[in-house]
Amino acid sequence: MTETPFTLDRFAAARQRIAPYVRHTPMLPAPLLHHDSPHGLQLKLENMQIAGSFKVRGAFNTLLSLEPEQQQRGVVASSGGNHGLAVACAAQRLGIPATIYLPATATPDRVARIHQFGVDLVTHGTSWDEAHARALAHAEADGLAYVHPFDDPRTVIGQGTLALELLDDLPDLDCVVIAIGGGGLIAGMAAVLKQSRPQIRIIGVEPKGAASMHHSLQRGFAERLPEPSNTIADTLAPRKVGDYTFALAQQYVDTVVQVDDLAMVHAMRWLWRECNQLVEPAGVAVIAALHSGVADLHGAVAPVAVICGGNAAAGSVFELYQQAIRS
Amino acid sequence: MTETPFTLDRFAAARQRIAPYVRHTPMLPAPLLHHDSPHGLQLKLENMQIAGSFKVRGAFNTLLSLEPEQQQRGVVASSGGNHGLAVACAAQRLGIPATIYLPATATPDRVARIHQFGVDLVTHGTSWDEAHARALAHAEADGLAYVHPFDDPRTVIGQGTLALELLDDLPDLDCVVIAIGGGGLIAGMAAVLKQSRPQIRIIGVEPKGAASMHHSLQRGFAERLPEPSNTIADTLAPRKVGDYTFALAQQYVDTVVQVDDLAMVHAMRWLWRECNQLVEPAGVAVIAALHSGVADLHGAVAPVAVICGGNAAAGSVFELYQQAIRS
């Protein structure tokens, strides 16, 4: 990275590029029902984004940045999670052929949702790493564009557009809490926020069972975790953050803290009681960090926690209601 | 009803009265992900209201309208559903003692949520009618205010404040689809909308298994259904609409249509895929009416469907995630 591609004008251009296709998601309208959260806290409900997470910002930005000839040939991606859903959604919307590689561990509800978008699905391997390697080989062999889930400037810049919405909606914004998986969201958002207003504090949150950013920050470079990930927050579970995302986090993120799985399940229940938002564990990692006390907002007057994704496994609820009809 | 208490100034006063305590809920930010809904449709996400439904508008309006001396003595209500939750929430917030009567059929998740607000709970009977009769007797014997779930001008006027938000947020509004249980929401909203702009069309939706408004409109007066209600949309299941709510619906509502339970479950799944909103069957009755074709928006350019409540039985989801940690 001799020259940074992460200047503010690029984020602004990306926002304009993807605007017709994504939602400007709402903040939770005040007041909060419960009083066990930091004073003045607002929640950015990115779980209400198209395809259920912020990932669609990077997916649209990447697909719309391709040359027309690349768009016609099609794209390849690998993800059994929110990135796969986002690329499938964007590809269908833009009429671009897409092949999504999934590990066999992808949950049935996410596979079904990706399938709905009419893209080609290939199951390979039992981890994202294996699906990723095969997908990359496919893309290179056929000369197709590979849409990386986090470590690509187009992806990072797409995700960072979320921060531009925060700056518009909350002029006093002074602290943001953001979950970390591969690091695309926090990297893009931190680049926008710190270049716009350096005094905004940025707190990253990762699962204890997949603390890949913490590990890399301690090492001083992006390094794979020695142990396999172990967390219910499957969309935060990459074993290695990206080179771009690591560099941006090192430069712009103030603190990275960790939460355990049980705290995330408690936070899921809290968010449901608070405003009837059912989200996946990754979506409430930020709430878990606030409630368990590891994320300290000391003195912040307009803090925001980003609820980054909502694709929980909700199938059992629909089953129960369907059974209630039969009986 | 010799003199109408439902003038626009009363709704405006109610809105101001309850503003510090309730949320101005968002519309679903466009664009829609799917293309199987009427063009231009927007969803008013009242499932994100405090305590999970519009009911808290009427509850706060009623409690705040009481004399200080009545507030000190406390209030009584009857409901195993969203009204009970709303009164409990408002009473706790305002420091007013409250006793809520529940039928034994109230679902465990709603009972647990009502209990959290620290009010007195009494279980009586196996239907809302029985709990209601006992609660009313208690209120009269002890000289306490009874907070009716729908058939009281203070309740109706509180619910109608939702329509004032729609008029503010959507200047072109020309059609609104609203679910009907006891009729409080549609009565209040219709009074506001038709007095403000008579050309706005208002379509009511009720479950086939509890079509109490349709029945009463045919009879020409509010009359109890001959058969017990039979629908999974338990919060839309009163066997008789109110005298106030009937009169307002007769005067102001253009059409009342019906949906079956299966269409509501399909609509629950649709809303989940569309924007990760998990809501109870009553909350998507309006979507079910649009998708099954019984609600026809012919020619509307800015139609809104009100997602009136969100308190689905979601416990199984949290259980699944909790089990995933243990394993």
Two tokens, residue B106: 């109230």
Q: Assess if residue A3 is contained within a domain.
A: no
Of A118, A147, A176, which residue sits at a domain end? A147
pLDDT at B128: 87
Task: Give the mean pLDDT of B191-216.
Answer: 98
pLDDT tens digits, B34-56: 778 888 899 999 999 999 999 99
List of chain B residues whose C-beta atoms are within 8 Å of the C-beta of residue A318: 265, 268-269, 272
Do both A91 and A114 map to the same domain?
yes
Boundaries of domain holding B102: 56-147
- A48 and B281: CB-CB below 8 Å? no
Task: Let me know whether B76 and B212 are in one domain.
Answer: no
Same domain, A107 and A208: no
Q: How confident is the model at residue A3 (pLDDT cuts 50, 70, 90)?
A: low
| pLDDT tens sequence across B13-35 | 999 999 999 999 999 987 777 77
On whether both A307 and A191 belong to a single domain, the answer is yes
Q: Is residue A70 part of a domain?
A: yes
pLDDT interval class at B313 (50, 70, 90): very high
Tell me, yes or no, whether B48 and B60 share the same domain.
no
Average pLDDT, chain A: 95
Domain count, chain A: 2
pLDDT of A2 > 50? The answer is: no
Q: Looking at beta carbons, which residues of chain B come within 8 Å of A47?
A: 276
pLDDT for B30: 75
Examine the pLDDT at A159 and tell me if it is beyond 70: yes
Note whether A135 and A81 are within 8 A (CB).
Answer: no
Nearest in space to B287 (alpha carbons), one of B74, B32, B94: B32
The answer on B280 and B231 residing in a single domain is yes
- For residue B2, pLDDT over 50 is answered with no
**Which pLDDT belongs to residue B129?**
87
The per-residue pLDDT for range A194-251, each reduced to its tens digit, is: 999 999 999 999 999 999 999 999 999 999 999 999 999 988 999 999 999 999 999 9
Evaluate whether B239 touches B210 at the Cβ level (below 8 Å): yes
Once rounded to an integer, what is the mean pLDDT over residues B96-119? Answer: 91
pLDDT band at B108 (very low <50, low <70, confident <90, very high): confident
Mean pLDDT to the nearest integer, B267-275: 94
* Residue A311 lies inside a defined structural domain of this protein: yes
Summarised one tens digit per residue, pLDDT across range A265-275 is 999 999 999 99
Residue B1 lies in a domain: no
CB A59 within 8 A of CB A147: yes
Task: Indicate whether B203 and B303 sit together in one domain.
Answer: yes
How many percent of chain B have pLDDT more than 70?
98
Same domain, B180 and B235: yes
Query: Per-residue pLDDT tens for B133-154?
Result: 999 999 999 999 999 999 999 9
Q: What's the gap in Å between the CA of B64 and the closest CA on chain A?
A: 17
Residue B142 to chain A, least CA–CA distance (Å): 31
Identify the domain boundary among A82, A116, A147.
A147
- Nearest Cα neighbor of B287 from B310, B264, B269, B311 is B264
Measured CA to CA, the distance from residue B52 to residue B40 in angstroms comes to 26
The rounded percent of chain A whose pLDDT value lies above 90 is 87
Please answer yes or no on whether A265 and B30 come within 8 Å at the CB atom: no
Rounded-to-integer distance, Cα A208 and Cα A203, Å = 15
Distance from CA of A182 to the nearest CA of B (A): 22
- Kindly list the residues from chain B whose CB atom is less than 8 angstroms away from the CB atom of residue A265: 318, 321-322, 325
Mean pLDDT across the stretch B250-275? Answer: 96
Q: Please indicate, yes or no, whether residues A163 and A15 belong to a single structural domain of this protein.
A: yes
Q: Which long-range contacts (CB under 8 A, 24 or more apart) does B94-100 make?
A: B94/B21, B94/B60, B94/B63, B94/B64, B96/B63, B96/B66, B96/B71, B96/B72, B97/B73, B98/B74, B99/B74, B99/B75, B99/B135, B99/B138, B99/B144, B100/B76
Chain B nearest-CA distance from A41, in A, is: 15
Q: What is the CATH number of the domain that holds A79?
A: 3.40.50.1100
Q: Which chain B positions have a beta carbon within 8 Å of A272's beta carbon?
A: 314, 318
pLDDT at B3: 62
- In a domain, residue A45? The reply is yes
User: Shortest Cα distance from B161 to chain A (angstroms)?
Assistant: 16
Per the model's pLDDT, the better-predicted residue between A298 and A97 turns out to be A97
Would you say B206 and B180 are in contact if contact means Cβ atoms under 8 Å apart? Answer: yes
pTM recorded for the entire structure: 0.96
Does any domain span residue A284? Answer: yes
| Pair (B215, B291) in one structural domain | yes
Interface test with B, best of A276, A278, A287, A323 (most B CBs within 10 A): A276
Average pLDDT over residues A122-141: 94
Q: How confident is the model at residue B182 (pLDDT cuts 50, 70, 90)?
A: very high
Residue B3 domain-assigned (yes or no) = no
A286 lies in the same domain as A303: yes
How would you classify residue B234: left for phi > 0, otherwise alpha for psi between -120 and 50, otherwise beta?
A: alpha
Checking if the pLDDT of A287 tops 80, the result is yes
In A, which residues are within 8 Å of B263 by CB distance? Answer: none
Question: Chain A contacts of B322, Cβ < 8 Å?
Answer: 262, 265
- Considering the domain boundaries, does residue A2 fall inside one? no
Tell me the β-bridge partners of B179: B205
Same domain, yes or no: B108 and B249: no
Q: Tell me the chain A residues in contact with residue B52 when contact means C-beta distances shorter than 8 Å.
A: 276
- Each residue's pLDDT tens digit, A16-55: 999 999 999 999 998 888 888 888 999 999 999 999 999 9
CB contact under 8 A, B311 and A276: yes
Whether A29 and B25 lie within 8 Å, measured CB to CB: yes
- Main-chain phi, psi angles of B185, to 5 degrees: -70, -50
Nearest to B51 among A25, A33, A321 (CB): A33
Chains A and B: how many Cβ contacts under 8 Å? Answer: 119
Domain end, chosen from B98, B113, B147, is at: B147
